[in-house]
Amino acid sequence: MSDLAHPAALTELVSVRDFIRYAVSRFNGAGLFFGHGSDNAWDEAVYLTLHTLNLPLDRLEPFLDARLLPHERERLLDVFRRRCEDRLPAAYLTNEAWLGEHRFYVDDRVIVPRSFIAELLEEQLTPWIDDPWAVESALDLCTGSGCLAILTALAFPNAEVDAVDLSQDALSVAERNVADYQLQDRVSLVHSDAFTALAGKRYNLIISNPPYVNAESVAALPPEYLHEPELALGSGEDGLDFTRIILAEAKKHLTEDGVLVVEIGHNRDELEAAYPTLPFTWLDTQAGDEYVFMLRAEDLPD
C-alpha cells in the first residue's frame, strides 16, 4: 500500500521531524540503494524533505518541529512513494544534482553527475597545470549534463571549452546548464561520437568521465542506476572500450604541452595491464588514488 493510500500517514505525521523519521523507515524497509548524492537513508530523507518544502538545504534544525499543511504532507508522501516504489534516484525527483557548491539541472536524459574530476577542478588541477590562466582551450568528452565543462570554464578563466556528447538529449540538458551559468560565450556544445567531429582541433586540456562500467557490473546494477541512460554507463566487457578510443586519439587533439585527465572507476588494474608502457599518473581524490589518471601529450601513443 502506498503512503497516500494509508490514511494514518496523513493524519499522524505532522512535523518535519515526523516525516524525516518516516522516510528513513520507509527507505530502509524498501532496501533502497544510495549512490546519487548521498550514501544513507537519513541524508537522503533530509534532502528530499527540505527540497520538497522549499526550505534551505543547509538548515534543518530550525524547521524540525514545524507543523506541515495538508498539501505539504501529500507532496512529501508522494516523493517518498516514488523514491521507494519506482526506485527513482533522488536527483531525478528534484531535478537537481550538486558537485561541491555547484548546482546543475538533471533529468533522466543524463546520468546523475558524480565525478572525482570535479574535485580536482576545484584545485585547477594543481600541480599538473602550472598556470591556470594559460589554459586557452579545453575539451570535455562525454559531457552529459555539461557539469564538468562548466566547472572547467570556471576553473580556467581564459579557456574556451568544447562540451562533446553523442546524445542529443544530453546536449539539450547541457544547454540549459550552460545558460544557467551564463557561459554560452565560452562553452560550445558539440554533437560528436568521441573525436569524430573535432578534426583539426587541439586543446591544452582534455578531460573525460566516460562510460566505464564493465559488463558484469552492468548486469548487477541496482534498480536506481537502471533509470540512467545505458549509453552513459557500460563500456564493453572490461569497461575500457571508450577509454581505449581516448588513448588512441587524444594525442592528435592535444597541444604539445597538453594534459589528458580521465576517470575510469574501478578499472585501474585492467587499464595498467592493457597499457603496461604508458606512464599513468594517478591523481589523489577523497576516495583514493585509483580512479582518475593523468597523461601528458608527450606520453601518449602517436
Residue 241 in this model has a pLDDT that exceeds 90? no
Percent of the chain with pLDDT over 90: 77
Handedness of CA 228, 189, 267, 117 (dihedral sign): negative
Q: What share of the chain is helix, strand, coil (3-state, %, to 5)?
A: 40, 15, 40
- Residue 9: what pLDDT? 77
Average pLDDT over residues 284-291: 84
Where in the sequence of the chain do the CATH 1.10.8 domains occur?
A: 7-94
Domain 108-299 has CATH 3.40.50.150: yes
70-85 vs 41-52: helix axis angle to the nearest 10?
140
Residue 236 in this model has a pLDDT that exceeds 80? no
Average pLDDT over residues 193-205: 95
For Cα atoms 21, 33, 173, give the angle at the middle one, nearest 5 degrees.
Answer: 105
Q: How far is CA 99 from CA 27, 104, 112, 151, 288, in A?
A: 24, 8, 10, 9, 18
Distance CA 84, CA 6 (A): 15
Helices vs strands, H then E, count in the chain: 11, 9
Average pLDDT over residues 185-198: 96
Helix, strand or coil, per DSSP, at residue 119: helix
Distance CA 264, CA 242 (A): 10
**Among the four given CATH numbers 1.10.3470, 1.10.8, 1.10.1060, 1.10.1740, the one describing domain 7-94:** 1.10.8
What are the residue ranges of helices labelled H in 86-165? 90-94, 116-122, 147-155
Do residues 101 and 44 touch, judged by C-beta distance below 8 A? no
Residue 239 in this model has a pLDDT that exceeds 80? no
Where in the sequence of the chain do the CATH 3.40.50.150 domains occur?
A: 108-299
pTM above 0.95, yes or no: no
| 219 confidence band (pLDDT: 50, 70, 90) | low
Q: Please, which residues have CB within 8 angstroms of residue 243's CB and are 6 or more apart in sequence?
A: 210, 212, 235, 262, 264, 267, 271
Do residues 142 and 209 touch, judged by C-beta distance below 8 A? yes
Do residues 221 and 191 touch, judged by C-beta distance below 8 A? no
Q: What is the mean pLDDT of the chain?
A: 91
Residue 240 in this model has a pLDDT that exceeds 90? no
The DSSP output letter for 103 is E
pLDDT tens digit sequence for 40-71: 999 999 999 999 999 999 999 999 999 999 99
The DSSP output letter for 285 is B
pLDDT tens digit sequence for 91-144: 999 999 999 899 999 999 999 998 899 999 999 999 999 999 999 999 999 999
All three cell numbers of 62, joined, read: 530550525
